[in-house]
Amino acid sequence: MRIVTTCVVASLSLAGCRPAAPDHGGVFDGSAGHWVDLTHAFSESTIYWPTDTAGFQLQELAYGSTEGGWFYSSYAFASAEHGGTHLDAPIHFAEGRLTNDAIPLSGLMGPAAVVDVTDHVHPDYRVGVADLTGWEAAHGPLPDGGILLLRTGWGDRWDDRAAYLGTDLTGPDAVAALHFPGLAPEAAEWLVAERGIVAVGIDTPSIDYGQSADFRSHVILYSENLSGFENVANLDLLPESGSFVVALPMKIKGGSGGPLRIVAFVPGG
């Protein structure tokens, strides 16, 4: 019997028998929907908080043909944690809360709720409870384990630093001149008290609006170990409900944030 079994296994192997491919429901081959990149590319023009004046730095270490005859390129980069499309880990504004590397994957992915305020936004607008309950009136309660994405339209200004930040200034003096929308502290309190989301993302430089002096929305959310995603791109390409977000930062041990690659899967044709 052992000989027969061995021969059958060998025959199947020679015939090219392989285990059946896992069924991913068309998520990865594009047959059940499409993926949207919600990330701004990092470059020398990437927008950072005005006090982070070094920005993103890319140094060429090698580029060209080698003595062995093959092409080779290599670079070194330097960056603050909080610039471009990036993660705010809870410890960024809440002592003792989760660091970058300690955030579970369940806190970095989930069904998305895109709250669109572009029809009534202004540079000092704060997304309020009424905006959130208005979304719920159309789509049902914000999903438990979900990711709230705030679409203000500021992503369209990404290529114009002054329009995006509200000022051309850099350094400490620039902070008082910042003007862009954010999340109202009252809405942050409502979210942590009444709903079960795991993260909030926004298409502006900060979860708090530009003129905030106390960063209360950061403190309220992050004290409950919710994470933030800032400078998110392409929210206009997502439906208000029905998509699924995956947000994977560079995993920095003990970090308060980090560069983020965030994408969304949109079901359908």
Distances (CA, A) of 203 to 7, 26, 85, 93, 107: 61, 29, 9, 19, 19
Nearest-10 crossing angle of helices 185-194, 129-139: 50
HEC letters along 100-126: HHHCCHHHCEEEEEEEECCCCCCCCCE
pLDDT higher than threshold 60 for residue 6: no
pTM exceeding the 0.85 threshold for the entire prediction: yes
Give pLDDT tens digits for 122-167.
Answer: 999 999 999 999 999 999 999 999 999 999 999 999 999 999 999 9
Specify the pLDDT at position 3: 39
Distances (CA, A) of 67 to 59, 60, 72: 22, 18, 10
Residue 10 lies in a domain: no
Provide the domain count of the chain.
1
For the chain, what is the radius of gyration of the CA atoms?
23
| DSSP code at position 21 | P
Query: At 115, is the secondary structure helix, strand, or coil?
Result: strand
Measured CA to CA, the distance from residue 150 to residue 132 in angstroms comes to 10
Query: At 67, is the secondary structure helix, strand, or coil?
Result: coil
Specify the pLDDT at position 18: 58
Q: Place 25 in a pLDDT band, splitting at 50, 70 and 90.
A: confident
Specify the pLDDT at position 20: 62
Measured CA to CA, the distance from residue 177 to residue 225 in angstroms comes to 30
Residue 159 lies in a domain: yes
Q: Which domain holds residue 143?
A: 33-39+81-267
Measured CA to CA, the distance from residue 206 to residue 232 in angstroms comes to 10
Q: Place 2 in a pLDDT band, splitting at 50, 70 and 90.
A: very low
Q: What is the mean pLDDT of residues 178-186?
A: 98
Residue 53 lies in a domain: no
* 156 Rama class: left (phi>0) / alpha (psi -120 to 50) / beta: alpha
Give pLDDT tens digits for 68-114.
Answer: 999 999 999 999 999 999 999 999 999 999 999 999 999 999 999 99
Specify the pLDDT at position 190: 98
CB-count burial class (<10 Å; 0-12, 13-18, 19+) for 48: buried
Specify the pLDDT at position 10: 41
Specify the pLDDT at position 7: 38
Specify the pLDDT at position 24: 78
CATH number of the domain at 176, please.
3.50.30.50
Residue 231 lies in a domain: yes
Residue 216 lies in a domain: yes
Structure tokens at 170: 């850099």
Structure tokens at 107: 């806190």
Give pLDDT tens digits for 204-259.
Answer: 999 999 999 999 999 999 999 999 999 999 999 999 999 999 999 999 999 999 99
Q: Place 28 in a pLDDT band, splitting at 50, 70 and 90.
A: confident
Residue 71 lies in a domain: no
Residue 56 lies in a domain: no
Q: Place 1 in a pLDDT band, splitting at 50, 70 and 90.
A: very low
Residue 142 lies in a domain: yes
